[in-house]
């Protein structure tokens, strides 16, 4: 392309894009020429985030969505259809966290986590596949899973279960959509500096002794640092780019090498 931006003319919808990983991905896709739609339940924060991208000279807008609600997702898809008529790129990023142990967890809490983190990706795909099918080149779905969807972790029963489902949902959806040349992949982030990293007492997860000792000092994360939203955005951009025309059904761990030391 003449201006060197590789996603020119493509419409990208990113859920949970008001902050954290979602905003990092939105900013990268916007910098590559995509019209980015920051979809988030926190519409005020998303609107401010979209305005920051516009001030950088990018194309961006914000729309409200609760991915845990069928009607809200349907309304988002209808708005994108009315405004743009298609969607080339869907990033299923929105998620919520919770500390859940089998002995203290309530089924209500479990279902809440699953409804957002697992079913939310399914809801979005069901609503947006018709829009993606109407698009042209570069049709992509990227799900944000987690390395916790690939392993066990204490007190994360609901979250890890839901993210594990996202992993295999990605593979199964890739098979369903391959005849339409729609690529479906996922990234599996490790420890990333986001608002979800703030512990209930207000401290930062990465300031804790256990993280500094095990993951930094003793190298359970070989790169010896936590990730940033920008670290997640680069691999996501690759999966959305034309370089990934023969990549589908894959789960790319973006974890500083943590999964290599298990």
Q: Annotated active-site positions, please?
A: 159
Q: Give the span between the Cα atoms of 241 and 247, in whole angstroms.
A: 10
SS3 87: coil
Q: Give the span between the Cα atoms of 37 and 50, in whole angstroms.
A: 8
User: Which element (helix H / strand E) includes 156?
Assistant: none
Distances in Å between the Cα of 193 and the Cα atoms of 21, 87, 181, 248 are: 9, 29, 34, 27
Q: Give the span between the Cα atoms of 187 and 250, in whole angstroms.
A: 8
Q: Give the span between the Cα atoms of 206 and 195, in whole angstroms.
A: 12
Q: Give the span between the Cα atoms of 125 and 132, in whole angstroms.
A: 9
Total residues belonging to the chain: 262
Q: Are 184 and 129 in contact (CB under 8 A)?
A: no
């Amino acid at each position: 392309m003449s201006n060197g931006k590789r996603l020119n003319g493509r419409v990208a919808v990113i859920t949970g894009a008001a902050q954290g990983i979602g905003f990092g991905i939105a900013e990268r896709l916007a910098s590559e020429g995509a019209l980015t739609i920051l979809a988030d339940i926190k519409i005020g924060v998303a609107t401010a985030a979209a305005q920051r991208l516009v001030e950088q000279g990018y194309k961006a807008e914000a729309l409200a969505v609760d991915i845990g609600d069928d009607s809200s997702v349907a309304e988002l898809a209808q708005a994108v259809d009315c405004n743009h008529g298609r969607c080339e790129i869907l990033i299923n990023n929105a998620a919520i966290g919770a500390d859940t142990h089998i002995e203290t967890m309530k089924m209500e809490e479990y279902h809440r986590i699953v409804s957002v983190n697992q079913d939310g990706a399914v809801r979005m795909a069901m609503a947006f596949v018709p829009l993606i099918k109407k698009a042209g080149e570069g049709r992509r779905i990227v799900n944000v899973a987690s390395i916790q969807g690939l392993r066990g972790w204490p007190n994360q029963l609901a979250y890890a279960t839901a993210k594990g489902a996202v992993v295999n949902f990605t593979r199964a959806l890739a098979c369903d959509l391959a005849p339409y040349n729609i690529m479906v992949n996922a990234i599996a982030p490790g420890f990333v500096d986001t608002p979800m990293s703030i512990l209930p007492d207000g401290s930062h997860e990465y300031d804790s002794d256990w993280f500094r000792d095990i993951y930094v000092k003793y190298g359970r994360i070989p790169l010896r640092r936590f990730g940033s939203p920008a670290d997640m955005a680069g691999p996501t951009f690759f999966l959305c780019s034309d370089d990934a025309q023969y990549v589908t059904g894959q789960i790319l761990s973006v974890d500083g090498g943590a999964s290599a030391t298990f």
